[in-house]
A and B are shown apart, each in its own frame.
Chain A
Amino acid sequence: MKKSVITVVGKDTVGIIAKVCTYLANNRINILDISQTIVSGYFNMMMVVDMNDSAKPFADISSELEQIGEEIGVVIHCQREEIFESMHRI
C-alpha cells in the first residue's frame, strides 16, 4: 500500500477538515490517521491517507488539493510518505 501525507497549514476557519475530507471521500481516498494542532492561531493538520483505490493519478490529486487550499485560504501539500519515513526512521 502506497501511503501519502496531506498537510494543511493556514489561518483557522470553519470547515477546513470538512472540505478536505469531502474531496478525499469523493475520490475514494481512505484516511488512515489524522492529527491536528493550532499553533499561535494557525491551523496545522496532517493526514496519512491511502490512495490505492483512487482512479486519479497522484499529480491530479495533488494539484486539486492545492486548488481547494487556495479557495479556503490555506496551503495544502500532498507528498508520498516515504520522504518522511526515510528522514525520520532508521
Chain B
Amino acid sequence: MINIYEVNETNKMIEEQNLDVRTITLGISLLDCASDDLSRLCDNIYNKITTVAKDLVSVGRDIELEFGIPIVNKRISVTPISLVGASAAHSSDDFVKIALTLNDAAKTVGVNFLGGYSALVSKGMTSADRYLIESIPDALAKTALICSSVNVGSTRCGIDMDAVRLMGRIIKETSEKSDMGCAKLVVFCNAPDDNPFMAGAFCGVTEGDAVINVGVSGPGVVKRAVEKTKGESFEVLCETIKKTAFKVTRVGQLVAREASNRLNIPFGIVDLSLAPTPAVGDSVADILCAMGLEQAGAPGTTAALALLNDQVKKGGVMASSYVGGLSGAFIPVSEDRGMIEAASTGALTLEKLEAMTCVCSVGLDMIAIPGDTSAATISGIIADEMAIGMINSKTTAVRLCPAKGRKVGDTVEYGGLFGESPVMAVNQFSCEEFINRKGRIPSPIHSFRN
C-alpha cells in the first residue's frame, strides 16, 4: 500500500512545484459535417461540437477534484477547416463565418481554446487552403477562442515556399489587426495529427471520430529534482530527469484514461511535453540554469536542452501506453519567466533560439519582434525553421508576434498564460529576392526510404 512519504512527495509536486495536467484536448472529426451550403455546414459544425464536447469541461473538473491535480485547460481540436469548408466556403469571408461558428461552439461548451482553423499545404495549396489562409487575420481578430495553424512543409514533401511567403504577410497582417492574433497562429513543418497543445492543435485526418489527448507539464518538478543533483555526473543528472518525467507522465496517463472512460471517447495519446508558464518556478529555462548555466542562451544551452529533451522522452515513454503529439521540452519566450529574463539581459538571441529548436520539441515560439519587420524577413525566419524540421525529420514551428509600433528592447504584455516578452532583435539583412522565388523546396534525399 502507498505510504505517507510517497503521498507527501506527490502533493508537494502539486502544491509547491506547479505540477499540473496542462490540457485535456478533445479531438473531434468534422469531416462528416461537410456540405456545399455554408449555413448548413455551420449548423452541422455547431451541433457536432456542442454534442460531442458537452461534458468535457464538467468531466475535467470532476477529475481535478477527485485526484487533486489541477487540469489547467480543457480544449477542443477539430479537423483542419480548409478541408471541412472546402465545398461550402468560396471566399475568405465565408471562412471567417466558420471561424465565428467555431468560436460560438467553444463558448457554449466552456472550453479555453479551440484549435484547427488550419490548412495543410506542405506541397501545394487548393483554392480553399488559400481562402482560409487569407482569412486568418480577420478570423483571429473577430474571435477570442480560435487557434490557427498552417503546415507548410514536411520531410516527405519538402517546403511549399509559396505558402511560406504568404504566411510572412499573413502574420504581419494578423499583428496589425489584433494584439493577440499572432499568439494564436502557428506555422508548422511536420505537424503531428494528435497534438493536444495550442495554438497548433488540430484533429488530423488520420484520427477517428473523436479522441482524447492529454498534455502533461511539470518544469517546476524537474527543476526541483535537477537542483538536487548539483555537482553530480551527467549519469546522475540524466537518471534524475528520467525518473521525474516518468512520474509526471504517469499522472497524465491516469487523467487521460479517466477522461476517456468517463466521456466514452477513445484515448489517443499523452504528450509528454515540459510546458512552462509565466508563473515563478514553472520555467524550462530555470531547469537549464539548475543544470549549471548562468542564463539560458549561454554556451552549452543547446547541449543542456538536448539532454533534457531526450531524457524527458526516455522517462515518459515507459509511463504511457501511447505517446505522441510534440513530446519534449517547449521553449516559448513570453510564457517562461527564465526565458524572458534571458532575452531581456541579452543572454538569449533569436539565432541561439533557432539553434535550440534543432534539439527541442517544437520551434521559435512566442517571440516578439519589432513591428517594422518586413513580411519577407518573417518568411525568411519561417523558411529557416521549416528547413530545420524538414532535414531533421522533426516537428518545427514558428509563432512570431510582430509588435505593432514597438522596437527592440520594448516589452509587450500578452497576459495570462501567454505572459510578456521583450521585443527581440532580428537580423537586418534582406532575404527578399530568395523569398520571392516561386514554387517549393524539394524533399530531402533521406526522405526516399521506400
A interface residues (Cβ-Cβ under 8 A, vs B): 5, 7, 32-33, 35-37, 44-46, 48, 58-59, 62, 77-89
- Cα A62 to Cα B11 in complex, Å, equals 16
Task: Say yes or no: A82-B67 contact (C-beta < 8 A), given A5-B2, A33-B1, A87-B251.
Answer: yes
Q: Which of B1-41 contact A (CB under 8 A)?
A: 1-4, 6-11
Interface status of B314 (Cβ within 8 A of chain A): no
Given A59-B66, A80-B66, A87-B6, 12 further pairs, Cβ under 8 A: A32-B1, A45-B4, A46-B3, A48-B1, A48-B2, A62-B66, A83-B67, A83-B251, A84-B7, A86-B253, A87-B247, A88-B9
* Residue picked from A48, A81, A88, most chain B C-beta under 10 Å: A88
- Size of the B side of the interface (Cβ < 8 Å), in residues, is 21
* A84-B254 in contact (CB<8A): no
Q: How far is the CA of A78 from the CA of B253 in the complex (A)?
A: 20
A44 and B346 alpha carbons, distance in the complex (Å)? 46
Assess whether A77 is in contact with B247, with CB atoms less than 8 Å apart: no
Task: Name B68's closest neighbour in chain A (CB-CB).
Answer: A79
**Which residues of chain A are within 8 angstroms of B65 by Cβ–Cβ distance?**
58-59, 62
CA of A59 to CA of B66 in the docked complex: distance in angstroms?
Answer: 7
Are A84's CB and B4's CB within 8 A? no
Name the B residues within 8 Å of A44 (CB-CB): 4, 8
Known: A58-B65, A59-B65. A83 touches B10 (CB 8 A): yes
Name the residue on B nearest A62 (C-beta). Answer: B65
Give the contacts of B343-369 with A (CB-CB under 8 A).
none
Residue of B nearest to A78 (CB): B68
Within 8 A of A (CB), among B229-267: 247, 250-251, 253-254
Dominant secondary structure of chain A at its interface with chain B:
strand
Chain A residues contacting B170 (CB-CB under 8 Å) are none
Q: How far does the Cβ of B206 sit from chain A's closest Cβ, in whole Å?
A: 28
Report how far A7 CA is from B67 CA in the complex, Å: 12
Question: Contact between A83 and B3 (Cβ–Cβ < 8 Å)?
Answer: no
* Bound-state Cα–Cα, A35 to B7, Å: 11
Closest to A89 in B: B2
* Nearest opposing residue in chain B for A88, CB measure: B6
In the complex, what distance in Å separates the CA atom of A89 from the CA atom of B2?
A: 9
Q: B residues bordering A, Cβ < 8 Å?
A: 1-4, 6-11, 62, 65-69, 247, 250-251, 253-254
Q: What is the minimal beta-carbon distance from B300 to any residue of chain A, in angstroms? A: 31
Q: Are A83 and B68 in contact (CB under 8 A)?
A: yes
Among B1, B62, B69, which residue has its beta carbon within 8 angstroms of that of A83? B69
Leading 7 A-B pairs by shortest Cβ distance: A79-B68, A46-B4, A83-B67, A86-B254, A88-B6, A86-B250, A84-B2
A79 touches B4 (CB 8 A): no
Complexed CA–CA distance, A58 and B67 (Å): 11
Contacts of B62 in A (CB 8 A): 59
| B9, chain A: closest CB distance, angstroms | 8
- Closest A residue to B254 by beta carbon equals A86
In the complex, chain B residues whose CB is within 8 Å of the CB of A7: 7-8, 11
A14 to chain B, nearest CB (A): 21
Q: B251 near A86 (CB under 8 angstroms)?
A: yes
Q: Are A35 and B4 in contact (CB under 8 A)?
A: yes
Closest-CB distance, B194 to chain A (whole angstroms): 21
Task: Decide: A46 near B67, CB < 8 A? Known: A82-B254, A83-B254.
Answer: no
Q: Please name 8 pairs of A and B residues whose Cβ atoms are closer than 8 Å in the assembled complex, sorted by A.
A: A32-B1, A44-B8, A77-B68, A78-B68, A83-B67, A83-B69, A86-B254, A88-B2
Known: A80-B66, A82-B67, A83-B69. A35 touches B251 (CB 8 A): no
CB of B10 within 8 A of CB of A88, answer yes
A37 to B250, CA, bound (A): 27
Selected from B4, B10, B66, the residue in CB contact (under 8 A) with A87 is B10
Among the interface residues B2, B10, B62, B253, which one has the most CB atoms of the partner chain A within 10 A? B2
CB atoms of B66 and A5 under 8 A apart? no
Q: A5-B2, A62-B65 are in contact. Are A46 and B7 (CB under 8 A)?
A: yes
CB distance from A22 to the nearest CB of B (A): 22
A62 to B254, CA, bound (A): 20
Given A7-B11, A33-B1: A84 and B6 within 8 A (CB)? yes
Which residue in B1, B2, B4 is a CB contact (below 8 Å) of A37? B4
Contacts of A78 in B (CB 8 A): 68
Contacts of B253 in A (CB 8 A): 86
Whether B251 contacts A80 by the Cβ 8 Å rule is no
Chain B residues contacting A62 (CB-CB under 8 Å) are: 65-66
Q: Chain A: which residue is nearest B253 at the CB level?
A: A86
Q: Of A58, A77, A81, which contacts B2 at CB under 8 A?
A: A81
Bound state CA distance, A44 and B11, in angstroms?
A: 12
> Who on chain B is nearest to A83 by CB?
B67
